[in-house]
C-alpha cells in the first residue's frame, strides 16, 4: 500500500461513456419490446443458465441448505437491522391550527424490486440490508432479483444463503434474473413479471447505468459506484486493526477505494508493514493488490484537522475515525454515508450486524444523499382540507401570485372564493 499525494482524493466520475451505455440501452430496449423472450436470451448469454420461469420455485428452502451457524448469524443481523430501522420516525399527522385540516400521510410503496449482485461473491447481507427495511416500512410486495448461477443448480441456481436471507428478511418473491436485463424487467415488466414502482440495491456499472435509464419510469435509491472507505487515524491507532480494515474494503473489487489519512508517518509505515504481512493469508489477495494499485493508498496530512477537512470534502461512503477522541470531530464532519466512531466501531460490523443499512451513498453523493432507510420505501402525501373561511382569507394572495405568473385561470379560480367563500 503506497503513500500517495492528495490527488488520490480526486473523484472518478461514473464511467457512462458510450462503450458502456450502448449495450445497456440495447438491453433495456429489448426487454421493453420483447419481454420474456429477450430476458431468456440475455440470461442464457450472460449467466449461462436457461430457465423456463424466473421466480424461484421454493425460496424458503434456503434455510434448510445452510449451516445452523450461518442461519444464526443471518438472524442476528436481521434482528439488529429491524430494531434499528423501527426507530426511524414515520409519523403521519394532521392539524386544524391553520384553518380546516392540513397534514401529511405516510404510506408504503406497493411493490419494490431489490437487486442483489451475484458477481464475485454471494451477498446475503445485501438482502438483509434492503428487504428488512422494506418490510418494516410495510411494503406488501418485495421482489428480490439476483443473477442465476450454474454453480448452484441444486438450490435452484441461487446461493442458499441468499435464499435464506430473503426468507428471513421477508421477501415475497425471488427472481432469478440479473444485470441490466433484470433492472429493465423490474421497471417495465414482462409477460410473467409484474413491474415494480421502485428499484433499490447496488450493482456493477451495467446495473447502475440501467437504473439511470429507467429512472422516471420507476424510482431508484441512487446510482451506486464502487465501494469506498476512508480511515482517519492518529498515532495511537492500532496499525494491525487499521490495516485489517483497509484490506477488508479493498477485497470487494478492483475499483474499490481504501484510503488512510493520518498525520503520523510512523503509523503510516506500520500500516504498510501490516498490510504486507496480512495480505499473504487472504483468499482475495490478487483483487486487493490490484485495488491498492488503482485508487487506494495512504495520504499524510499536517494534522488531524486537515485529515478531517480532506475527508469531509471527499464525502466517502464510510468514514472511520480511529482516533483518541472521535466524538470531538463529529461536528466538523457533514459529508459521509456513515461515521464509524472509534476502533471498536469498525466498518465490517456496519457491513453486517451493526444496525444501519450498508447501502450508502458513494462517489461523493454523500454530499446530498443518505443511506438507505425506511423512508426509501414510503410515499409522503400532503393532506389539504381547508374550511371556507380560511380559503376566502388566503385566496387573495393566491390571486396576486397567479397574476404575477400570468396564469389568469388560476387567478379566476381564487377570485371566486374571495367573493363569497363558495364555489
Q: What Rg value do the Cα atoms of the chain yield, rounded?
A: 25
Q: How wide is the angle at C-alpha 118 spanned by C-alphas 113 and 119, nearest 5°?
A: 135
- Residue 357 grid coordinates: 443499512
For the chain, the helix, strand and coil percentages under 3-state DSSP, each to the nearest 5: 50, 15, 35
Rounded alpha-carbon distances, angstroms, from residue 332 to 100, 300, 311, 335, 384: 43, 19, 10, 9, 40
DSSP per-residue letters across 156-212:
TTS-HHHHHHHHHHT-SEEE---HHHHHHHHHH--SSSPPPSEEE----HHHHHHHH
Same domain, 203 and 261: no
Q: What is the model's pLDDT at position 10?
A: 86
Rounded alpha-carbon distances, angstroms, from residue 370 to 14, 71, 138, 248, 336: 18, 30, 20, 23, 8
- 156 assigned to some structural domain: yes
Same domain, 170 and 296: no
- 381 assigned to some structural domain: no
Q: How far is Cα 328 from Cα 159, in angstroms, rounded to an integer?
A: 43
Same domain, 317 and 355: yes
Q: What is the model's pLDDT at position 304?
A: 97
Same domain, 345 and 359: yes
Same domain, 202 and 284: no
Out of 203, 220, 237, pick the residue that ends a domain.
220
Give the HSE-up count for residue 119: Cα atoms under 13 Å, Cβ half-sphere. 14
Same domain, 267 and 345: yes
CA quadruple 244, 249, 250, 252: dihedral positive or negative?
positive
Could you give the number of structural domains in the chain?
Answer: 3
Helix or strand holding residue 21 (H, E): helix 18-34
Same domain, 400 and 308: no
Out of 199, 220, 241, pick the residue that ends a domain.
220
Q: Which residue, 388, 238, 231, is CA-closest to 296?
A: 231
Q: What is the model's pLDDT at position 119?
A: 65
Same domain, 261 and 180: no
Q: What is the model's pLDDT at position 217?
A: 98
- 346 assigned to some structural domain: yes
- 136 assigned to some structural domain: yes
Which among 82, 317, 343, 399 is annotated as catalytic?
317
Known active-site residue 318: yes
Same domain, 129 and 268: no
- 379 assigned to some structural domain: no
Same domain, 137 and 23: yes
Q: Which residue has the cell 425506511?
A: 374
Please give the distance of CA 21 from its chain centroid, rounded to a whole number.
21
CATH number for position 134: 3.40.50.1980
Which among 251, 318, 343, 358 is annotated as catalytic?
318
Q: What is the model's pLDDT at position 18?
A: 81
Give the domain range for residue 78.
18-220
Q: What is the model's pLDDT at position 224?
A: 86
Q: What is the model's pLDDT at position 295?
A: 84
Same domain, 109 and 201: yes
Known active-site residue 317: yes
Low-confidence ranges of the chain (pLDDT < 50): 421, 423
Residues 45-55 have pLDDT tens digits of 999 999 989 99
- 106 assigned to some structural domain: yes
Residues 89-140 have pLDDT tens digits of 899 999 999 999 999 999 999 999 999 998 667 899 999 999 999 999 999 9
Beta bridge partners of 236: none
Q: Which residue, 78, 74, 55, 77, is CA-closest to 65?
A: 74
Out of 168, 189, 220, pick the residue that ends a domain.
220
Q: What is the pTM of this model?
A: 0.93
Q: How far is Cα 251 from Cα 282, in angstroms, rounded to an integer?
A: 9
- 319 assigned to some structural domain: yes
Span between the terminal Cα atoms of the chain, in Å? 73
Please give the distance of CA 364 from its chain centroid, rounded to a whole number.
13
Same domain, 255 and 341: yes
Beta bridge partners of 371: none
Residue 216 per-residue DSSP state: T
- 84 assigned to some structural domain: yes
Amino acid at each position: 500500500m503506497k503513500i500517495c499525494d492528495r490527488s488520490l482524493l480526486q473523484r472518478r466520475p461514473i464511467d457512462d461513456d458510450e462503450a458502456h451505455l450502448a449495450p445497456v440501452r440495447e438491453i433495456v430496449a429489448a426487454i421493453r419490446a420483447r419481454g420474456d423472450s429477450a430476458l431468456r436470451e440475455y440470461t442464457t448469454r450472460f449467466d449461462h443458465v436457461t430457465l423456463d420461469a424466473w421466480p424461484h420455485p421454493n425460496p424458503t428452502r434456503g434455510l434448510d441448505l445452510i449451516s445452523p451457524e450461518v442461519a444464526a448469524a443471518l438472524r442476528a443481523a436481521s434482528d439488529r437491522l429491524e430494531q434499528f430501522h423501527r426507530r426511524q420516525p414515520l409519523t403521519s399527522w394532521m392539524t386544524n391550527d391553520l384553518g380546516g385540516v392540513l397534514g401529511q400521510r405516510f404510506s408504503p410503496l406497493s411493490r419494490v424490486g431489490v437487486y442483489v449482485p451475484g458477481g464475485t461473491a454471494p451477498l446475503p447481507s445485501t438482502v438483509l440490508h434492503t428487504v428488512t427495511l422494506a418490510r418494516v416500512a410495510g411494503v406488501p410486495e418485495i421482489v428480490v432479483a439476483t443473477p442465476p448461477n450454474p454453480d448452484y443448480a441444486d438450490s435452484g441456481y441461487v446461493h442458499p444463503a441468499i435464499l435464506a436471507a430473503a426468507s428471513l428478511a421477508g421477501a415475497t418473491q425471488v427472481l432469478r434474473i440479473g444485470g441490466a436485463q433484470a433492472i429493465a424487467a423490474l421497471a417495465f415488466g414482462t409477460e410473467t413479471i409484474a413491474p415494480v414502482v421502485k428499484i433499490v440495491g447496488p450493482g456493477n456499472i451495467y446495473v447502475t447505468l440501467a437504473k439511470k435509464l429507467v429512472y422516471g419510469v420507476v424510482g431508484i435509491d441512487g446510482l451506486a459506484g464502487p465501494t469506498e472507505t476512508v480511515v482517519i487515524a492518529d498515532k495511537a491507532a492500532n496499525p494491525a486493526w487499521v490495516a485489517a480494515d483497509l484490506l477488508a474494503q479493498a477485497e470487494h473489487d478492483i475499483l474499490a477505494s481504501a484510503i488512510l489519512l493520518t498525520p503520523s508517518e510512523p503509523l503510516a509505515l506500520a500500516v504498510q508493514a501490516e498490510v504486507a504481512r496480512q495480505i499473504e493469508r487472504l483468499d482475495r489477495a490478487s483483487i486487493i493488490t490490484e485495488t491498492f494499485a488503482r485508487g487506494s493508498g495512504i495520504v499524510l496530512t499536517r494534522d488531524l484537522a486537515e485529515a478531517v477537512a480532506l475527508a469531509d470534502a471527499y464525502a466517502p461512503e464510510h468514514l472511520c475515525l480511529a482516533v483518541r477522541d472521535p466524538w470531538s470531530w463529529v461536528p466538523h464532519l457533514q459529508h459521509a454515508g456513515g461515521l464509524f466512531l472509534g476502533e471498536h466501531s469498525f466498518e465490517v460490523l456496519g457491513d453486517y450486524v451493526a444496525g444501519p443499512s450498508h447501502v450508502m451513498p458513494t462517489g461523493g453523493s454523500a454530499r446530498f444523499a443518505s443511506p438507505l432507510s425506511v423512508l426509501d420505501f414510503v410515499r409522503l402525501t400532503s393532506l389539504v382540507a381547508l374550511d371556507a373561511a380560511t380559503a376566502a382569507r388566503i385566496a387573495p394572495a393566491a390571486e396576486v401570485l397567479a397574476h404575477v405568473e400570468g396564469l389568469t385561470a388560476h387567478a379566476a379560480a381564487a377570485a371566486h372564493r374571495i367573493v363569497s367563500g363558495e364555489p
